[in-house]
Structure 1
Amino acid sequence: MGQPLVSVVIPCMNEEKTLGSCIGKARQALERECLEGEIIVADNSTDSSGAIAKSMGATLIIPQKKGYGNAYLEGFRHARGKYFVLADADDTYDLNETPRFLAPLLAREADFVIGSRLRGEIKKDSMPWLHRYIGNPVLTKILNWLFKTNISDAHCGMRAITREGYEKLGLRSEGMEFASEMIIEAARKNLRIKEVPIAYYPRQTPSKLHSWGDGWRHLRFMMLYNPTPFFYIPGFLLFTLGAFMTLTLAMRGNVETTGLHSFILGSMLAIIGTQMVTTGSYMKIYGILNNKIEKKGLTAKLLDYHSLEFGLLTGILLFIGGMTLGSDVVLKWISSGYGSLSEVGEAVISWC
């Protein structure tokens, strides 16, 4: 058997009612266009889905771990085609439309094609109101804003990509965030992306999506790639405001009588801001080490060996300064016979 031109990869999890229809439509579409193809079903079902795939001549793959991303990653590892088509096994996407996804790739007009349900037709009862008008549009807009893309439906499950394009992406996500990772990496690697309006049909079985949980996974994943608007900017603003309030009140003196509550609030804002910036830094370093973020600019300098030495020395000096100031407060407290002490400003600053 020769090498197929197209590999249709279908992840499956207990879809015995619809898998056969999906395989049949995919095969008919390829035969109608005279395209040599293979159909790969990455199956982790406990029902008869696997038996149906085998009986219809599809290549059955059993991923070692469950998960939307794991199913695709395992399927792609076995795919032999020059072009990959991705679609769900629930028959919500019409695989008869496969040629429309392949056409821009075959014409070399695009490297990556993604369907758009929002620019196509959403059949009645096929998409919950929350997903259609809030979840999907909001997450798509955030993705477009963060990564300079122009996608209308970032979570559409029917897609097509060239093998060469896929190999550039280095995808690793195991869960539903695989859909976001694919678009983000395509934008990072400068793949030519094109959208195809499609119809979206109702499921015949209960959905496996978890609206809030899966939505958070997508958002958390985008934070990993670009923590600046989520942590750096708000953290810096909080720290600046808190430090300004704290230092202004400390310089006025008599904090205990003139603005104790404002002083405590300022110190809390400064600490929260510092923690947010630190969290953003951890996320950015993790992203760099896992090849999700480019190592450049200030972060690259901070990761330099000499910068790390400087940071360590600075941290030690700040620690010693805080301990010295704090020790002075403790000594005054001891000398007062462990009674009441009017050193709130000095104590808070040393703690910060």
Structure 2
Amino acid sequence: MPDSSTTVVAIVPCLDEEATVGAVVRDLIAAVPGITVYVFDNGSTDRTVERAAEAGAVVRHETRRGKGNVVRRAFGDLQADVFVLIDGDDTYDVSALPGMIALLHSGPYDQVVGVRREDGASAYRPGHASGNSFFNAVVSRLFGEPVQDMLTGYRVLSERFVKSFPVRSRGFEVETEMTVHSVGLRVPTVYVEVGFKDRPPGSESKLRTYHDGFRILGLILRLARYERPQPFHAAVAVVLALVSLVLGLPVILEYFDTGLVRRFPTAILASSIAVIAVLALIMGMLLEANRRVRDEGARLAYLRFPPPEHK
């Protein structure tokens, strides 16, 4: 349980969660005395706002659609020692929250990630579990840090994590962006298992399996280019060099054999691709130097805030 002088806020993004938001708000207030629950309505057309207010939440509105826009607004507007980010669909075990907050302070850690443990056979929609495992493996491989559940919507965060995190995503990709931010800055992070159950009747998921899955994969690739520019561009350079070699080798062999170059277009194409490969390699080196400077700035912004601790 947090110290009485520690301010804790919960951020609950909501879009048409009339059937569940009241239960989530009440559970949060019961689990952590003194917590302030902010429900950020993202354009609901049902009675989500009324149900949240009745349960004791502070309701705010974000007109730009998308969970990323909600998180960006909340992280910018709110001030607290501890931030709880949890979905409003009543699928996460809120009773685990006091232990997660205590763990944040005891580490101290800047992020406690709730790893979903299914409480029912149908908690995950078809394809979600395998997709999540795939993305975890890809990010772990690309960024060299173990990731257990990068798509979870249940996290406890320190002030310095929140205030050093430049939210760029607009939609469900924000969890991926948070994961990459934490592994990129090597933010102290710990994973804990939390109960995860199916949505109650009357509540429908806003996540579109394939559409949002491809968006998340695209974001991972963009972040890999942004956060690991040298390996990314080196890989591009290798592929281009191989293409150039496949196209140009027959021309070179023919020249050594006959002294003639009969396929000028192929020779020009192969040479051009080889030049582009070299340029890609140089670009990666330049962007890597720029990334180091940017990372130092991000690290200094992160260090402006003290670590979470009991007061």
TM-score, length basis structure 1: 0.69
Which structure has the higher relative contact order (CA within 8 Å, separation 6+)? 2
Distance in 2, Cα, partners of 1:266 & 1:41: 61
AA in 2 matched with 1:54: A
SS of equivalent residue, structure 2 residue 148: coil
Query: 1:235-314 counterparts in 2 under 5 A?
Result: 235-251=236-252, 252-253=254-255, 267=269, 271=273, 274=276, 293-295=291-293
AA in 1 matched with 2:237: F
AA in 1 matched with 2:52: A
* Conserved? CA contact 1:61–1:75, under 8 Å: no
Query: 1:55-204 counterparts in 2 under 5 A?
Result: 55-117=54-116, 120-133=117-130, 135-204=131-200
Structure 1 residue aligned with 2:216: 218
Deviation of the 1:122 alpha carbon: 4.6
Q: Deviations over 1:146-189 (max 9, x none)?
A: 22222211111100011122112222322111101112112222
Distance in 1, Cα, partners of 2:239 & 2:262: 19
Deviation of the 1:235 alpha carbon: 2.9
Distance in 2, Cα, partners of 1:181 & 1:104: 23
Based on CA coordinates, which of the two structures has the bigger radius of gyration? 1
Q: In structure 1, which of residues 19, 22, 28 is the aligned counterpart of residue 21 of structure 2?
A: 19
AA in 1 matched with 2:128: H
In angstroms, what is the RMSD of aligned CA positions? 3.4
SS of equivalent residue, structure 2 residue 38: strand
* Conserved? CA contact 1:154–1:183, under 8 Å: yes
CA shift in 2, pair 1:123/1:264, >3 Å: farther
Q: Deviations over 1:36-95 (max 9, x none)?
A: 210000002111101111222211110131111111222233323210011000001122
Runs (5+) with no aligned partner, structure 1: 297-352
CA shift in 2, pair 1:201/1:217, >3 Å: same
CA shift in 2, pair 1:3/1:211, >3 Å: same
Runs (5+) with no aligned partner, structure 2: 295-311
Deviation of the 1:281 alpha carbon: 5.1
Distance in 1, Cα, partners of 2:195 & 2:218: 29
1:209 maps to 2:207: yes
> Which is further off, 225-234 or 46-55?
225-234
SS of equivalent residue, structure 1 residue 160: strand
SS of equivalent residue, structure 1 residue 294: helix
AA in 2 matched with 1:155: L
- State the percentage of identical aligned residues: 23
